[in-house]
Amino acid sequence: MKTVKYSDIVEGVKKICMDANFDLGDDVLESFKKSRDIEESQAGKDIFDQLLANAVIAKKEKIALCQDTGFSVFFVELGDDVKISGGNLIEAINDGVRAGYSEGYLRKSICHPFTRKNTGDNTPAIIHVDLVKGDSLKITIAPKGGGSENMSRVTMLLPSDGIDGVKDYVVNRVRESGANPCPPIIVGVGIGGTFEKAAMIAKKALLRPIGSINPNPELAVLEEDLLKRINNLGIGPQGFGGRITALAVHVEMHPCHIASLPLAVNINCHSSRHKEIIF
């Protein structure tokens, strides 16, 4: 049995809240560089140059990559041999968010749905906990911006729609989103499960490094096909027209009910931010 202290979780979460917002992952930066070379439109190339310059400033000066420092979404893997001492895990994560968003000069973007009154500290965080075997605790933050989240959808297709129906829905979702979600985007696709499972695996799919190949060969082919079709839309970086509308498409699949074909499309902007800490 491993014991993890409440205060250590707060400190760790505080740090990854800030790191995620200042320090863009190498996979994203590499993808910008590669895409810049492929992009045919000059306005599109200029966008990649700006995004690369933006990442340098953000990291060096600790200014958030994007003013939308997002909803603080966490994926937690809690080993069944882990005990939290001094308090509750969910409260520790929320305390870490409060500290990180305050000390990091990050924007507090969470409000009441109707009055729109801001909660003032970016809580409550959205926290998904998976119980896993072992004695380690892994906490991943993926701050999620509102612009790209607003372009995401869950739909319940008919089984007869099949894989072609899935492909058409995903491509049309990106087409209709246009410039809104800050292309070049990353498209997370969740197929199967239930209404909420599809959404959850679509979001989780966004955590996979850009450029990685899906270990399921069937899905690897589907991802390649979707990426090609999406990049043929011509939306381009920031919607100004161009070759690169998406940097990657990541698909996750789960068995579903004999009556259903749930599908979720979770769109992420190019500022694909995530950091993790392991205890």
Partner 1 sequence: MAEIKITTPLTDEVVMKLKSGDKVLITGIIYTGRDSAHKRLSDLIDKGEKLPVDLNGQIIYFVGPTPARPGMAVGSAGPTTSERMDAYSPKLIKMGLKGMIGKGGRSKQVIDAMIEHKALYMAATGGAGALISKCIKSSEVVAYEDLGPEAIRKMEVVDFPAIIINDAFGNDLYMEGVKKYSR
Q: Which tokens go with 94?
A: 């929320």
Among 50, 85, 88, 172, binds partner 1 (CB under 8 A): 50
Residue 94's Cα: distance from chain center in Å?
A: 19
Q: Are 201 and 252 in contact (CB under 8 A)?
A: yes
Q: Which tokens go with 257?
A: 């009910």
- For the bound state, the minimum distance from the C-beta of residue 26 to partner 1, rounded and expressed in Å, comes to 17
Among 31, 152, 214, 238, binds partner 1 (CB under 8 A): 238
Q: Is residue 54 involved in binding partner 1 (CB under 8 A)?
A: yes
Count of chain residues binding partner 1 (CB under 8 A): 49
- For the bound state, the minimum distance from the C-beta of residue 77 to partner 1, rounded and expressed in Å, comes to 29
- Omega within 30 of 0 (cis) for the link into 124: yes
What is the enclosing helix (H) or strand (E) of 189? strand 185-192
Q: Is residue 38 involved in binding partner 1 (CB under 8 A)?
A: no
Q: Which residue has 């003032």 as its token pair? A: 120
What's the Cα-to-Cα distance from 209 to each of 5, 45, 221, 274, rounded to whole Å?
Answer: 30, 22, 17, 10
- For the bound state, the minimum distance from the C-beta of residue 80 to partner 1, rounded and expressed in Å, comes to 39
Among 150, 172, 212, 216, binds partner 1 (CB under 8 A): 150
Q: Is residue 182 involved in binding partner 1 (CB under 8 A)?
A: yes
Report the C-alpha gap between 93 and 117 in whole angstroms.
22
Among 86, 134, 178, 211, binds partner 1 (CB under 8 A): 178
Residue with smaller CB distance to partner 1, 66 or 198 = 66
Question: Which range touches partner 1 (CB under 8 A), out of 9-17, 92-100, 209-217, 238-246?
Answer: 238-246
3-state secondary structure 33-52: HHHHHHCCCHHHHHHHHHHH
Q: Are 68 and 107 in contact (CB under 8 A)?
A: yes
Q: Is residue 70 involved in binding partner 1 (CB under 8 A)?
A: no
Q: Show the binding pattern over residues 82-121: x = contacts partner 1 (CB under 8 A), - = does not.
A: -----------------------xxxxx------x-x-x-
- For the bound state, the minimum distance from the C-beta of residue 125 to partner 1, rounded and expressed in Å, comes to 18
Among 132, 241, 254, 260, binds partner 1 (CB under 8 A): 241
Q: Which residue has 């409440």 as its token pair? A: 6
Residues between 129 and 148 with contacts to partner 1, criterion CB under 8 A: 146-147
Residue 271: which residues within 8 A CB-CB, separation 6 or more?
24, 28, 65, 66, 145, 182
The total number of residues shown for the chain amounts to 279
Q: Is residue 266 involved in binding partner 1 (CB under 8 A)?
A: no
DSSP string of 123-176?
PSPEEEEEEESSS-EEEEE--B-HHHHTT-EEEEE-GGGHHHHHHHHHHHHHHH
- For the bound state, the minimum distance from the C-beta of residue 189 to partner 1, rounded and expressed in Å, comes to 21
Q: Is residue 71 involved in binding partner 1 (CB under 8 A)?
A: no
Question: Which spans of this chain sit near partner 1 (rule: CB under 8 A)?
Answer: 40-43, 47, 50-51, 53-54, 57-58, 61-69, 105-109, 116, 118, 120, 146-147, 150, 178-180, 182, 232-236, 238-243, 269-271
